Amino acid sequence: MTQSSASLNSIEEESVEGLNVVERPSIWSRLIKHPSVLIGGILILFIVAMVPGASYLTPLDPTEINPRNRNKPPGYEAVYKTDEGERYTVVAKMGTDKLGRDVFSRVVYGARVSLMVGLSVAVISVSIGLFIGMFAGYFRLVDAIVMRFMDGLMAIPSILLAIALVSLSGASLFTVIIAIVIPEIPRVVRLVRSIVLSIREEPYVEAAISVGTPTAKILYRHVLPNTIAPLIVQGTFICGSAILLEAILSFLGVGVPPEIPTWGNIMAQGRDLFQIFPHNIFYPGIFLTVTVLAVNMLGDGLRDTIDPRMSREI
């Protein structure tokens, strides 16, 4: 024992010196260097800036009906009156719709609804899914029941659910969010559950059990942190698909009430005159596509940088 403890110490010192482990560059510097995070992030920043900046971008009320300016092409100089009766002209950058409303103003204000739906669906479904998924994954008894229920939820098509909800409680932003959230939850639950299932078998969780850590603390300290990265990634994908789904629902007339400008509503109202005045569908369509693309690019990039484990799975 004694003669070997000398060698023991010498080796230990050596390995302590060799302890300068290579630190990976910080998460932020890696994120910024990732091209799809960079491009997606910048595009989203532009769209998000349209929310507070809407009144600077356009002086017009997106809901103001003006029969004289009906169905004008992009570039038309529309004449408006102030309350005091003064006349002024505004160039309709994206033309006007069949009620004479300025499409550009509607598109700019429509970003609010789209982002609102995307963000709230992502936050709500991720938080509910996280909670249920942690329970289902950690407590095996709950699992069988909860997961069968989730399978049932997953089978509900969100469009039919939205129609049902709208006929029950009337069209509103809230109904649309609920209709999109419900079928999204099971996907989050499945993801969280699968992570929890593998983490609960990790020796460090068993070690925590054997030092007497209460279950709630184990979930919070040891299990929860592992779910954060994949959930951020999953959240961005949910956000993208929710924006798209809101537009589809509005386009079908079962979404947000028609007087509220959303990209889906603008397209829905331009549908009958689409062949003659394509700008009604073209411009909101471009914004919708770019937004969803940007959100998904951001999600892809986040997945590659913060959670390399998942990059091959989904």
Partner 1 sequence: MVSNLENNTTSPHASNDSSGAVLSVKDLSIALPKNADREFAVKNVSFDVAPGEVLCLVGESGSGKSVISYSIMGLLANALKVQEGSSIKLQGEELVGATEDHMRDIRCTRIGMIFQEPMTALNPVMTCGEQIDEVLVEHTKLSASERKEKVLAMIEQVHLPDAARMYDSYPHQISGGQRQRIMIAMALILEPVLLVADEPTTALDVTTQAQILHLIKELQGDRKTGVLFITHDFGVVAELGDRVAVLKQGELLEIGLSSQVLMQPQHAYTKMLISSVPNHTPPERPAIASDAPIVLQTINLVKKYVNSNFLFGKKAVIAASDVTLEIRKGETLGIVGESGSGKSTVARCVTRLIDISDGRVLLSGDDIARVPQRNLRDLRRKVQLVFQDPYRSLNPRRSVGQSIVEGPMNYGKSKAEAWQKARELMELVRLDPDGLDRYPHQFSGGQRQRICIARALAMEPELLVADEAVSALDVSVQKQVLELLEEIKDRMQLAMLFITHDLRVAAQICDTVAVMSEGKVVEYASAEELFSNPQHSYTKSLFEAAPGRGFKFAREV
Select from 19-27, 35-43, 55-63, 270-278 the region that touches partner 1 (CB under 8 A): 19-27
Per-residue mark of binding to partner 1, 267-286 (x: CB under 8 A): --------------------
The CA distance from 308 to 301, in Å, is 10
Is position 225 an interface residue for partner 1 (rule: CB under 8 A)?
A: yes
Q: State the nearest-atom distance from the C-beta of 107 to partner 1, in Å.
A: 44
Q: State the nearest-atom distance from the C-beta of 14 to partner 1, in Å.
A: 10
**Scanning residues 161 to 220, which ones bind partner 1 (CB under 8 A)?**
202-204, 206-214, 217
Token pair for 291: 């937004």
Q: State the nearest-atom distance from the C-beta of 140 to partner 1, in Å.
A: 12
CB 138 within 8 A of CB 309: no
CB 128 within 8 A of CB 288: no
CB 292 within 8 A of CB 243: yes
The 8-class DSSP code of residue 255 comes to S
The 8-class DSSP code of residue 309 comes to G
Q: Residue 25 or residue 35: which is nearer to partner 1 going by CB?
A: 25
Phi/psi of residue 66, each to 5°? -140, 90
Q: Residue 202 or residue 313: which is nearer to partner 1 going by CB?
A: 202
Query: Which residues 6+ apart lie within 8 Å of 22 measured at CB?
Result: none
How many CB atoms sit inside 10 A of residue 8's CB? Answer: 11
Token pair for 104: 């550009």
Interface with partner 1 (CB under 8 A), residue from 72, 193, 200, 222: 222
Q: Residue 137 or residue 255: which is nearer to partner 1 going by CB?
A: 137
Select from 4-12, 110-118, 155-163, 243-251 the region that touches partner 1 (CB under 8 A): 4-12
How many chain residues are in contact with partner 1, going by CB under 8 A? 33
The CA distance from 134 to 129, in Å, is 8
The CA distance from 25 to 191, in Å, is 28
Q: State the nearest-atom distance from the C-beta of 212 to partner 1, in Å.
A: 4
Q: Residue 73 or residue 225: which is nearer to partner 1 going by CB?
A: 225
Query: What residues line the site for partner 1 (CB under 8 A)?
Result: 1, 3-5, 7-9, 11-12, 15-16, 18-22, 202-204, 206-214, 217, 221-222, 225-226
